Amino acid sequence: MATTTEKFQPPTVPRDSEGFVKSFNLSSYDCPEADDGCAFFDQYGFVVIANVFTSKQCAETISDIWNVFESFAEQSTRNDENLWDAQRWRRTGHEQVGLLGNASLWTRQIILNRQTPALHTAFATVLGTRKLLTNHDRYALFRPAQMHSERGTVTNLHLDMNPWIYLQDTDNSYQISVLSRLSYKRDNDWITENNEPGVKKYFLFVGIT
C-alpha cells in the first residue's frame, strides 16, 4: 500500500498590528475576554495574557534577574556587553540553557511575582480551576545571539516530565513515593519536586541511569 509523507505546516497564528502574537487582557476570571483567551489556547496550545505584570513589576524583575546574575559573576555586568563572555556566563549556572544557578531562587521579587493576583487569574482562567499548585524554580537569562553565533543555546524541546509515562501511573503512587521523601532542607529538593516524578521514571523506562 502506497503511503504519502505530508510536510508539517504550522498554523498561522493571529498577530497584532506590531507583529506580535495576539494577546488578551483579563480583568477577572469571567471577564468577556476570558472565553476568547481560552478558545485561543484550545486552538493553538498557548495563549499570551498581556496584563499580568505592570511595567513597574517588569522593571523590578529585570533588575532582580541582573542582581542574581551579578551575584554569581561577582561583578557588575549589566551595562557592559563586552563582559557577557562565555567564561563569566558559565559562573552563573547553565550557559547552554540559560538557567541561573543550580537550585531554586528565593529573592523577594520572585516571591512577590508568584503571588500576583493577575498571575493566578491568568492560569486559573485558562486551566479552568482556581485550585492551583506550582513548583518553585529559578530565572533564565539569554544573551543576544543574532550577531554572536557562539552564544546560541542548545536546540531542544524542554519538558521536565514525560507526559505519557507520567500519566500511566493512574494512582500517582510513584510520584507520591518520590515527593514524600523530600525534606526541603536543600534548595535542590524544590528542583526534584518539579522534575523527578516524571523524569526519573522516564529514564528508568528507556534504560538510562
10 vs 36 pLDDT, higher one: 36
37-63 in b/e burial notation, b at 16+ Cβ within 10 A? bbebbeeeeebbbeebbeeeeeebbee
The answer to whether 189 and 179 have CB atoms below 8 angstroms apart is no
Mean pLDDT within 160-171? 64
Residue whose C-alpha is closest to residue 68's, from 137, 139, 135, 144: 139
Residue 70 pLDDT: 95
Q: Which three cell numbers stand for residue 59?
A: 522593571
pTM score: 0.78
Residue whose C-alpha is closest to residue 125's, from 16, 48, 57, 20: 48
Provide the residue ranges of all domains of the chain, joining segments of one domain with +.
23-151, 163-206
Res. 64: pLDDT tops 90: yes
Phi and psi dihedrals of 15, rounded to 5?
-130, 160
Q: Which residues pair with 99 in a beta bridge?
A: 94, 140
67-92 pLDDT, tens digit each: 999 999 999 999 999 999 888 888 99
Residue 121 pLDDT: 95
Residue 98 pLDDT: 83
The proportion of the chain whose per-residue pLDDT surpasses 90, expressed as a percent, equals 44
Q: Which residues pair with 24 in a beta bridge?
A: 49
Residue 119 pLDDT: 95
Residue 203 pLDDT: 40
Calpha distance 157→10 (Å, rounded): 16
β-pairing verdict for 23-24 and 48-49:
parallel
Confidence category of residue 201, pLDDT binned at 50, 70, 90 = very low
The answer to whether 49 and 62 have CB atoms below 8 angstroms apart is no
155 vs 69 pLDDT, higher one: 69
Q: Which residues pair with 38 in a beta bridge?
A: none
100-138 pLDDT, tens digit each: 988 889 999 999 999 999 999 999 999 899 988 777 888
